[in-house]
Structures are given as structure tokens and as C-alpha cells.
Amino acid sequence: MSTLEPETGGPASAGQAADGWSNPLRDPRDLRIPRIAGPCTLVIFGVTGDLARKKLLPAIYDLANRGLLPTSFGLIGFGRRSWSDDQFRDWVKEHVRTRCRTVFRESTWNQLTEGIRFARGTFDDPAAFAHLGEIVLQVDADRNTHGNHAFYMSVPPSAFPVVARQLAASGLSESAGDAWRRVIIEKPFGHDLASARRLDETISSVFESDSIFRIDHYLGKETVQNLLAMRFANMLFEPIWNANYVDHVQITMAEDIGIGSRAGYYDGIGAARDVIQNHLLQLLALTAMEEPVSFSSHDLAMEKAKVLSAVRLPEDLAVHTARGQYAAGWQGEEKVCGYLQEQGVDPASTTETYAAVRLDIDTRRWAGVPFYLRTGKRLGKRVTEIAVVFRKAPHLPFESTATREMGQNAIVFRIQPDEGITLRFGSKVPGSRMEVRDVNMDFDYGRSFTGASPEAYERLILDVLLGDAPLFPTTQEVDLSWRILDPIEEFWGTQGAPEQYRSGAWGPAGADALMHADGRAWRLP
């Protein structure tokens, strides 16, 4: 019997999940991902794109290699290339071997490859979807997947409605008996509130609401989930997690790269729609939400929605928002061009590559505490972090010279690239004089845990196959996020071109002015 086949008789043994699927590669003490997906088929639209090649396919292999996928698993790629199944398998193997995070094992690959198929076609061709339906049925029969199908739309946002309608017309979205159908949609979910609602109406007409998974890969990152663990599993932090002690919060997602080959997608979208509407507002909600009754998808979504509904925009958008566009400069030792010189970008484009905004949350816990969100490309370094900055002590019984080099206490959640948590506080400098200076106490995932953290897409794909959605934004959250961003985008639309900033710097002067208006400054990560 294969080690991945369901075992019978007696209680679940070490390394075996409660649903009967054994997991020989996982330490029984490792409870990070304790459940194993049941029989199913995953269909990836846009399988030859960057996301599928770099993230999705390696994540699927790593799940299989960790023992988290059953032998009754099928993978179907849908694309325009004239490939046979064997050619597709060879192509998948090449990218999996290059990018997988676990050790590449021929035994795992051989088991996985038996369920891999390719369907050729375009999104607007009904015949291609009819042929896809035949392949799905064949995989169901060959792999005994029990008719359970998930559809991953790794495609441009404009193709979401087209693919959804084709799935409905071909009958692929319809399930029979206990079998399920699920759809996974990548961000951005809409261009504004109106388009998001139209898209939701289309998708909801094809799939049940609890079968729609709007993926935000940042929510699958280990440090994001650890934010919840740190807040609600410890008495140390929660008592000071409020306006009595917190001065402000800074949420940063900085990239040191430009748009690369994404001009077709990025120009006209911009930094705010690309990052603030989804990633950063989700991080804000997790940082500010109240303790949920449980960590079920319903209870988590309810608390996040409460926070987003309480967000208040700044009264003066000219003062408390900023946008910029990177100009030519140096990124390390490399001279790089400006955004307007990138291939495929309109030379007259007003699309921002940097966006910053102050938001307030009108609740008892957070009244008077500003949340500063910023994101940009071609900045000083690649970093994503949440910094909770505390008020200064109301009284310092020291000479003024003793604390002149001391700043404000802070807790910093490093989401990427070096996952961990830093606690900044004042400590006496060794010597005969009383001198207090900032020091850091650091927790690093790589040093504290011997096992590597699962990649975000591993966690999220597994959640979809399990039908569990605690880390996926709901329709209500998407709606509330666009309600926050739309007025800002409308204001920026009346302001002409964004302010230029030098590549390799930390954004436009207007972003510094935003903070200076409140007597604060951005952290230098």
C-alpha cells in the first residue's frame, strides 16, 4: 500500500491526519499544516504565465513532497501552446526542479506526473472548454478524484468573467452529489468599487459564495499569521495594543525593482490599486482587529470587516496622501531608467509607482492613532513590515542628555525578506554615566525553527483544496477596501502627473511632507 493511501483501523497514528491520510514526511509534532487534501483535480488557467511557473507549480510539488496531497490528485494546465501531455509534463518538471523549496525527489515527481494533463485552447473558444471537460472526466476516472474540481484563474483580470462564463456554459462549474467546485481568483479584484461589484455578480452567478476564493498571497506568509499568534496567545502585548500606548502604525511594502515586463498590466493600475487596496489594507485589518471568537473564516472575516468599515479618510487628501513615479537613477551599482522610459509605458502616463496615505480608525481602541501605509517600486531595498510605534514615556527621570539618542519603543513585524519580529527599546549604555540608547531584541524564524516555513502559496492552495478560507478576503472586505481607496484615486485623478523621485531613494518629497505634517517621520527599514 502506498504511504499516501488512506489507512484503516485504530486511531490516527503519528504522522497521520484525522481524515485517514498518512503523512510520512511531516514530523508528528509539526502542527503548522495538520490536514491533508482529499481527492481532487486542480485546473490552472494561464499555466504558462510567470505566476504559475514561479509560484503555483513549485508549490503544488512541495505540497506533494510534504505528503499533503493525496495520490488521487490531478493537475490540468490550460493554455494556447501546442503541447502533448508529455511535453507539458517535461516543462512543468523543469520549472519545479528549478524553483521547488523542498528536495526534488523522483519518486514524488513520478507519483505526481501520472495525474498531469494539458488542455490546449483560448478563453473565448467554447470548443476548447468542451475538450477540457473531456480531459477532466478522464482524470476523474484515472485518478479517482471523486469529481472534485478547483479552477485557478492565473490570468489577467479582464479574463475573469470570460473564463467564468465558459465554465458555466460548458457545465464544468456544476457539481453532482457530494462533489465540489471551487474557483480561485488572483488580485486585483476589480479596478474600483463598481467594477468589483460587477465582477462579483458574474462570478457569484457561476459559483456559490463559499466556493469563491479571492487569493492574497501576503495573508499566507508565516509572519502575517504570527501577528495573530503574538497578539492573542500572549498576555504581554495585548494590554498595550491600543491608543493609550500606541503613537502610530507604519505599514510598508517596498520593492527595489521596477515594473520589469509588467507594463501591460501595471500602467493604468498603479501602486495603490496593486498593493494598498489588497495587501496593505488586509495587514491594517489584522493589526487593528479585535480578538475573534475563533480563527474560523467567518469569525476572522467579521472582525476584519469591522475594522475596514471604521476606517476614516484624511480630511485633506492633499496633505495626507502622496504619490510618485520613479525616475532614472542607481539601484545599487546598476544604472536604471525611469518609469516613463520603461518598455511598453505611455511616455505621458500618470500612473503612480509610489503611494502613501494616512488612515484613521474610528473605534475606541484606535481613536487618535494614525495608520500610515506606503508602497513603492525602485526604493532603497526590498522590505515589507508592520511597525507599531509606541508613545514616549510621560516622564523621564533622567538628564536631557541621557536620553537624547533614544527614540520611541516599537514592535516591528518583518514579513519579507527576513521573516521575524524586532522589539526596539531603550537600554543603558555601559559606562559610568547614565546614557540610554535604542537597542533591538530580535526573533528570527530561520534561527528559531529548524524547519522551513511553507511558502505562502502552499498554504493557500491547500486551504482551497480543503475548503477552508480563513486567509481569503471576502466580498464584504473587497467592497470596503474599494470604498476606502476610490475617493483617493478620484482625488489623484485631478492632480496631474505624480511627483518624480530618484530610483534607489525612499520615495518623493511629498511622502516625507505627509509625515512631517504630523510631526513624525518614516522609519528607515
Q: What is the mean pLDDT of residues 498-524?
A: 96
Helix axes of 106-113 and 85-99: crossing angle, nearest 10 degrees:
150
Report phi then psi at 237, rounded to 5. -105, -35
| Nearest-angstrom CA–CA distance, 506 and 22 | 49
DSSP code string of 74-120: EEEEEESS---HHHHHHHHHHHHHHH-SSPP-HHHHHHHHTTEEEEE
- Kindly state the cell numbers that stand for 125: 473558444
- Where are the domains positioned within the chain? 40-186, 219-516
Per-residue pLDDT of 317-364, as tens digits, reads 999 999 999 999 998 889 999 999 999 999 999 999 999 999 999 999
**Residues 6+ positions from 307 with CB-CB distance below 8 Å:** 284, 285, 288, 289, 361, 363
Q: What pLDDT does residue 369 have? A: 98
- 377: nearest Cα among 426, 324, 301, 303: 324
Judged by DSSP in three states, 394 sits in coil
CA-to-CA separations, 453 to 66, 99, 129, 217, 283, in angstroms, rounded: 12, 15, 37, 14, 19
**Residues 6+ positions from 16 with CB-CB distance below 8 Å:** 7, 22, 23
> Residue 70: is its pLDDT beyond 60?
yes
% residues pLDDT > 70 (the chain): 90
Across 74-78, 213-217, 476-480, least confident range: 213-217
Scan for cell 498571497, then name that residue: 217
Per-residue pLDDT of 248-261, as tens digits, reads 999 999 999 999 88
Q: What pLDDT does residue 21 have? A: 39
- 150: nearest Cα among 126, 176, 127, 173: 173
**Class at the top of the CATH hierarchy for domain 219-516:** alpha beta
Task: Please state whether the peptide bond connecting residue 292 to the residue before it is cis, i.e. omega within 30 degrees of 0.
Answer: no
- 222: nearest Cα among 33, 490, 9: 33
H-helix segments, 377-434: none
Q: What pLDDT does residue 26 have? A: 45
Q: What is the mean pLDDT of residues 288-292?
A: 95
- Kindly state the cell numbers that stand for 514: 505627509
Q: What is the mean pLDDT of residues 183-188?
A: 88
Q: What is the mean pLDDT of residues 23-37?
A: 54
Predicted structure pTM score: 0.87
Q: What pLDDT does residue 417 have? A: 87
- Strand duo 40-45 + 436-444: pairing: unpaired
Per-residue pLDDT of 134-185, as tens digits, reads 999 999 999 999 999 999 999 988 899 999 999 999 999 998 889 999 999 9
- Strand duo 420-428 + 436-444: pairing: antiparallel
Residue 279 annotated among the catalytic residues of the structure: yes
- 366: nearest Cα among 306, 409, 441, 300: 306
Q: What pLDDT does residue 220 have? A: 81
Judged by DSSP in three states, 249 sits in strand
Q: What pLDDT does residue 425 have? A: 82
8 Å CB contact between 76 and 42: yes
| Nearest-angstrom CA–CA distance, 266 and 85 | 33
- Kindly state the cell numbers that stand for 297: 473564516
Confidence of residue 120 (pLDDT cuts 50, 70, 90): very high
Amino acid at position 103, single letter: V
Mean pLDDT of the chain: 88
Judged by DSSP in three states, 183 sits in strand
| Nearest-angstrom CA–CA distance, 316 and 296 | 38
Per-residue pLDDT of 297-315, as tens digits, reads 889 999 999 999 999 999 9
Q: What pLDDT does residue 485 have? A: 98
| Nearest-angstrom CA–CA distance, 281 and 311 | 10
Report the run of H or E that residue 413 belongs to, with start and end.
strand 410-416
> Residue 454: is its pLDDT beyond 90?
no
Task: Please state whether the peptide bond connecting residue 417 to the residue before it is cis, i.e. omega within 30 degrees of 0.
Answer: yes
| Nearest-angstrom CA–CA distance, 179 and 451 | 35
Report the run of H or E that residue 224 belongs to, with start and end.
helix 222-232
Q: Give the dihedral sign, CA 140/144/149/151.
A: negative
Per-residue pLDDT of 392-416, as tens digits, reads 877 566 666 655 566 888 999 999 8
Q: What is the mean pLDDT of residues 460-482?
A: 90
Judged by DSSP in three states, 324 sits in strand
Scan for cell 494561464, then name that residue: 46
Q: Which CATH superfamily is domain 40-186 in?
A: NAD(P)-binding Rossmann-like Domain (3.40.50.720)
Rg (CA), the chain: 25
Catalytic one among 95, 279, 395, 516?
Answer: 279
